[in-house]
Amino acid sequence: MRFRNLFASLLACSLAGAAHADVIHLKCVQTGATEYQLTYEFTGDTHSVAILAGTDANKVPMSAPLLKTTEQSTTLHAGKPGERVYFYLKANSGEVREVSIRHLPLQGTPNFRDIGGYRTTDGRTVRWGLLYRSGVLGGLTPEDYQYLSRLGIRVVCDFRNQQEREVSPETWIPGSSVDQISLPIGGKPAARPAVQSPSFDPGATPEQLHDRMIQGYTYMAIDSSDQFASLFHQVENDHLPLLYHCTAGKDRTGIFSVLLLLTLGVPENTVLADYALTGEYLGSDPNSPAMQKMMKASGTSMSSAFQKLTPEQRKPMMAANPAYVEGMLRAINARYGSFDAYRRDALHVSDNDVTKLRDLLTQP
């Protein structure tokens, strides 16, 4: 009888653990000046949430909840026009999850995003409001400056090369004390090429251009590892919040986002999905409004060689195709043995550095 009671107690504890409450797959989309749509899912014994809102990231407000609900989607109003809002969902178990918009509503640059909110393999979450990625900033408007001034960004890192910067000089909030750092990738050939730099032959097939995009990503990841390592150093030293960008916010910016999120322990499929979001905000058509806005802000136009390509040839060059990242990661594994070896040897991010980064950039 004693062993039967012990077994019953252990089974109850096991079932209680299995019924652990959680709120997962949170998503926030801004649908109006002060209107937001929140969606999420319940697991375990979670059946309701209280939703609070505030303007400080990673800080649960002391105000009363905007709403208590058993529904798994809701539309509500919060904050003021032009204000960044963070939502906190407190489950009936007491667990709190945070969510905010990922795509920031700026007029002058169409691909400005927060990389917070992603879950890691060990159950932690990347903090919101610390790391931003973007395309060129040359088209920012006074309204954009007002919005961005509330984010507290301390460092802006520019991956564009000298020619790109001369055509479209860095534009940031007038009078701000932000540190602007240039870590150019592309343009002038590197002194120590690690892999062959891709070339784009006007006679190439779309399939060949697809493969050359993978070569290009691999080339940047390996040949420009020192630049990426410098940015890791900025992040590790808590120079936050921090923004990094290139021209479109797709290739150079996308590669660093992949390297950082993988280092933080975000699963590869989630990292690939974040990379692919650029396609949602820019599209792959050079004539799309978002792409035209980006090109105007960068002060560039399609090169004569690019203009000679057919629409089918252009697609792989403009696309944010996760296959480019997957191919890059396979090439890294083939060259270094593993991503962790590449991270240690090429990015100079030690295992101790990883622990520090995860403590700094993620939360339970």
Residues 227 and 168 in one domain: yes
Of the listed ranges 39-53, 163-177, 182-196, 282-296, the least confidently predicted one is 182-196
How far, in Å, are 242, 267, 276, 347, 353 from residue 118 at the CA level? 17, 9, 15, 22, 20
Last residue of a domain, one of 51, 77, 101: 101
Q: What pTM did the predictor assign? A: 0.88
Higher pLDDT, 210 or 38: 38
3-state secondary structure of 4: helix
202 pLDDT higher than 80: no
Written as six digits, the tokens of 296 are 């105007």
Residues 95 and 118 in one domain: no
- Kindly indicate the confidence band of residue 314, based on its pLDDT and cuts at 50, 70 and 90: confident
| Arithmetic mean of pLDDT, 145-151 | 95
Output the pLDDT for position 297: 59
Query: Using the 8-state DSSP alphabet, how is residue 189 labeled?
Result: P
352 pLDDT higher than 80: yes
Residues 122 and 73 in one domain: no
CA distance 100 to 128: 8
Residues 211 and 337 in one domain: yes
Reported as a single tens digit per residue, the pLDDT across 128-144 is 999 999 999 989 999 99
Query: Chain centroid to CA 183: how far?
Result: 19
| Arithmetic mean of pLDDT, 187-197 | 46
H-state helical runs in the chain: 2-18, 142-149, 162-167, 206-223, 225-236, 252-263, 268-282, 289-298, 304-307, 311-318, 322-336, 339-345, 351-361
Tell me what percent of the residues of the chain surpass a pLDDT of 90.
70
Higher pLDDT, 48 or 193: 48
- Kindly indicate the confidence band of residue 188, based on its pLDDT and cuts at 50, 70 and 90: low
Evaluate whether residue 191 is within a structural domain. yes
3-state secondary structure of 53: strand
Evaluate whether residue 1 is within a structural domain. no
Given a contact cutoff of 8 angstroms between Cβ atoms, the answer to whether 167 and 298 are in contact is yes
Written as six digits, the tokens of 268 are 């590869």
The whole domain housing 39 covers 18-101
CA distance 164 to 245: 12
Output the pLDDT for position 197: 45
Which among 314, 266, 276, 304 is positioned nearest to 118, based on CA atoms? 266
Evaluate whether residue 9 is within a structural domain. no
| Arithmetic mean of pLDDT, 210-219 | 93
Counting Cα atoms < 13 Å in the Cβ hemisphere of 196 gives 7
| Arithmetic mean of pLDDT, 226-243 | 97
124 pLDDT higher than 50: yes
How far, in Å, are 129, 141, 142, 170, 227 from residue 174 at the CA level? 21, 11, 10, 11, 27
Tell me what percent of the residues of the chain surpass a pLDDT of 70.
84
Output the pLDDT for position 291: 66
Helix or strand (DSSP H, E) at 180 = strand 179-182
CATH number at residue 72: 2.60.40.10
Evaluate whether residue 277 is within a structural domain. yes
* Residues in the chain, total: 364
Written as six digits, the tokens of 57 are 């990231």
Averaged pLDDT of the chain: 87
20 pLDDT higher than 70: no
- Kindly indicate the confidence band of residue 344, based on its pLDDT and cuts at 50, 70 and 90: very high
Output the pLDDT for position 305: 59
Output the pLDDT for position 154: 96
CATH number at residue 117: 3.90.190.10
Which among 79, 66, 64 is positioned nearest to 30, based on CA atoms? 79
Reported as a single tens digit per residue, the pLDDT across 242-273 is 999 999 899 999 999 999 999 999 999 999 99
227 pLDDT higher than 70: yes
CA distance 219 to 222: 5
Output the pLDDT for position 148: 96
Output the pLDDT for position 189: 47
Sheet containing strand 67-69, edge to edge, reads 67-69, 49-54, 86-91, 96-100
Residues 276 and 255 in one domain: yes
Residues 89 and 141 in one domain: no
Task: Let me know the angle formed at the C-alpha of 20 by 17 and 22, rounded to the nearest 5 degrees.
Answer: 160
Evaluate whether residue 13 is within a structural domain. no
